[in-house]
Amino acid sequence: MAFDGIAVARIVTELNQKLINARMVKIYQPDRYTIIMHLRSLGETHKLVISADPVFARIHTTTDTYINPHNPPAFCMLLRKYLEPSRILGIEQYQLERIIEIKFETFDPNLGTSLKSLVFELMGRNSNIILIDQEHNIIDAIHRNSDADHERPIMPGLVYSLPPVDRKINPLTTTEAEFTTEIRLLPAFTLLYQGLVQLYQGFSPAAAKEICRRAGIDPAAVKQELTLEQISALWQSLDQLINTEQQPVLVEDDKPDFYAYRLTGPVAQREFASLDQLLDTFYRFRIHSQKVRQKASSLQSQINTHLKRLKRKEQIHRNTLKQAADADKWQKMGELILANIYQIQKGDSELTAVDYYQPEQPLITIKLDPALSPSENAQAYFKKYTKAKNSKKITQEQLEKTIMERMYLEEVAVQLQQADDLAVVAEIESELIREGFIRKRRSKGRQEQRHYQTVKQYQEFIASDGTKILLGRNNRQNDLLTFKIAKPEDIWLHAQNIPGSHVIIRTNQEVTEQALQEAAALAAYYSKNRTSPKVAVDYTERKNVHKPRGAKPGFVTYNNFRTIIVDPTKIENLPRKADRMTEQ
């Protein structure tokens, strides 16, 4: 993520414009890393997020609602003690580093007015939030470091010092002549963008590459290839990037990212009015996605355990059936013993006789137990026959049940892999609890309830010709969509013989070949084979789809269907998603 010194400078400027002289209303700490400040300014209330999360360290205002713990953490209580009430005097960045200081004017009935500062060190896994007084003494920090041998211990009572930073040049105070000299003195074969990162504060590799592209220079060029004219163009590009107002953008590809400036080149990017708004949107999506993946991964692990058990069980049943296939053989041997009983003497270990069932075949040899009489040997074979016959029936039933459970869990596993909403994952978890595959968790109160309250009935897509297409994202939605929401004449689609979502084409208008192709591509995309260029999709009218009595959630049978082959890997084959999840 591009939260470099340039992005910090931009967000500091925006927060100053929005929060200068804002009055502190309340402070919350929803988790071990994050502080939420409710601030009042010019008749508006703002929520300022400051997070030292090792993955999602950030600062911006937000419109999100956070769930706060019943008992505030100690650091939250300390901030309330010192910063309620107070007002923000200013927000400053140290040079072009990722260090922000928020200055507060505080008031104590006994001591009167004083100054406090909250220092936010935005440094990845080493990020920290530190409260200091006007003499730079540390009052406390969200992450303490009491190691006396550490280069910079962070503990109450110690004097705050800046974190060790590389001795780089501040690009805000350098000149073109100084820049030219520094570039010329780089080793000959230094990659240009890497040289910029090594020399100057605040430049991430992405920012350095953007400076090169704006100057019309390949970022992978080496210093030796540069002319004086190109160095001058590079300086102009650098100066423009850090000293003129830029348009923040969100890059929307496989790995979304944000930038405090518009990127050069054919990159899919969406402009935002402010970096503050962009950050709120970006981190809401990233954090939500991470929570979805963490929750889905936990459930997936439990499903994998059950799948391994079921596969072992299935193999045992198949082996038992293979053995039970000899049932008729045992019956035949018992009957042949009875047919030749007068030829057998007690103590014989075998019988050689004509196989009356296949008289053209050579004589058959039947093993006998010398300790048993001829009649008892026959009964022993009949018992083996009866046991094998009964075992075959029971085992066949158990095998079918095991196969159905395995197929059901494989279906749920695909749904979890493709889930992008916590409510969908929570609903899958609830289903697994009802089906007895996992234990019920202790309720997490308001937060868990909110997940269930926001779950939607199905997802809606619009084909290129305007046809409405509906899709279920888990088994509950599949059943509800197919048997409650879809009309008998609607078209039902499902990837052939593999786990996948139920898809419905509304038939309020005539279904075109284009709509059918797009709906089939959607069914293929939300199936186990979404990465395959050829997926068979069955389709039929909804009235031809049936749910067997006692079947697992999401399981159906269907008839009178046709099949279409589609390629779900081509995004242009898919219909566009409607603006929101739709409830019936």
pLDDT in tens, 25-67: 999 999 999 999 999 998 899 999 999 999 999 999 999 988 8
Q: Which two tokens stand for residue 303?
A: 């499903």
Going by pLDDT thresholds of 50, 70 and 90, the confidence category of residue 442 is: low
- pLDDT at residue 112, rounded to an integer: 78
Mean pLDDT over 304-318 rounds to 94
Q: For residue 375, is pLDDT > 50? A: yes
pLDDT digits (tens, 9 = 90+) for 243-268: 988 899 999 876 789 999 999 988 88
Q: Which class is 176-271 in CATH?
A: mainly alpha
- pLDDT at residue 446, rounded to an integer: 47
Give me the helices (H) in 481-580, please.
513-525
Mean pLDDT over 289-312 rounds to 92
Q: For residue 451, is pLDDT > 60? A: no
pLDDT digits (tens, 9 = 90+) for 87-141: 999 999 999 999 999 999 998 777 778 999 999 999 989 999 999 999 999 999 9
pTM over the 0.85 mark: no
At residue 250, φ and ψ (nearest 5 deg) are -110, 120
Locus of tokens 């290839």: 225
Going by pLDDT thresholds of 50, 70 and 90, the confidence category of residue 416 is: very high
- pLDDT at residue 185, rounded to an integer: 93
Of 114 and 2, the one with more pLDDT: 114
Candidates 223, 118, 217, 168; CA nearest to 5 is 168
Going by pLDDT thresholds of 50, 70 and 90, the confidence category of residue 529 is: very high
Considering the segment(s) 5-141 as one domain, its CATH architecture is Roll (2.30)
Q: For residue 306, is pLDDT > 90? A: yes
Cβ burial 523-552 (10 Å sphere, 16+ → b, else e): bbbbbbbbebeebbbbbbbbeebeeeeeeb
- pLDDT at residue 43, rounded to an integer: 85
Q: For residue 277, is pLDDT > 70? A: yes
Mean pLDDT over 356-368 rounds to 86
| DSSP letters for 337-402 | HHHTGGG--TT--EEEE--TTSTTSPPEEEE--TTS-HHHHHHHHHHHHHHHHHHHHHHHHHHHHH
Residues in the chain: 584
- pLDDT at residue 452, rounded to an integer: 42
Give me the helices (H) in 96-251, please.
176-184, 192-199, 205-214, 228-243
Q: For residue 444, is pLDDT > 60? A: no
Q: Which two tokens stand for residue 540?
A: 């039929």
> In the predicted model, what is the mean pLDDT of the chain?
90
Going by pLDDT thresholds of 50, 70 and 90, the confidence category of residue 422 is: confident
